[in-house]
Amino acid sequence: MSDADTPTDPDDAASDDAAEAAPRGDAALPDSDEEWRDRLTDEEYEVLRERGTEARFSGEHVDRDDDGVYRCAGCGAAVFDSETKFDAGCGWPSFYAADEDAVTLREDDRHGMQRVEVLCANCDGHLGHVFSDGPEPTGERFCINSVALDFDPADE
């Protein structure tokens, strides 16, 4: 039997296929939790909708140094430019600035810590947190989950 003939769990296949095929960018935002689950992978859903955190050094964008734009994985809104990315050594992609119109900041006191949460202003997806220990010119470190971001490389 070939891999193509190997039976799979139909629920897993449907979930993965829906997440990969779901339009982002200019598509209308989901109206329900069920629609978000159909649009996102399980990991994206956990981070973007349930305010989760991926494991340190596990994300695809941690070491990326290509020129381009980072977009919210939930809706496609541009949130960070690669020119503001730096290596903070923390295990998550770090940026010293965000597009101010593209993100919303709010106090986060979960887990017994005082932090500032970073959300996509378009879809309210949890991206990560911002700290005041970043480099100049802002002194800020936006510590963002890779799974919450899609990357569009710059045209060469």
Q: With 0-12 CB in 10 A as exposed, 13-18 as middle and 19+ as buried, what is 31?
A: exposed
143 assigned to active site = yes
Helix/strand/coil for 48: helix
- pLDDT tens digit sequence for 51-101: 999 999 999 999 999 999 999 999 999 999 999 999 999 999 999 999 889
Report, as an integer, the average pLDDT of 94-111. Answer: 93
Question: Exactly one of 72, 75, 120, 143 is catalytic; which is it?
Answer: 143
How would you classify the pairing of strands 149-153 and 68-72?
A: antiparallel
CB 138 within 8 A of CB 128: no
Does residue 47 register a pLDDT over 50? yes
pLDDT band at residue 24 under the 50/70/90 scheme: low
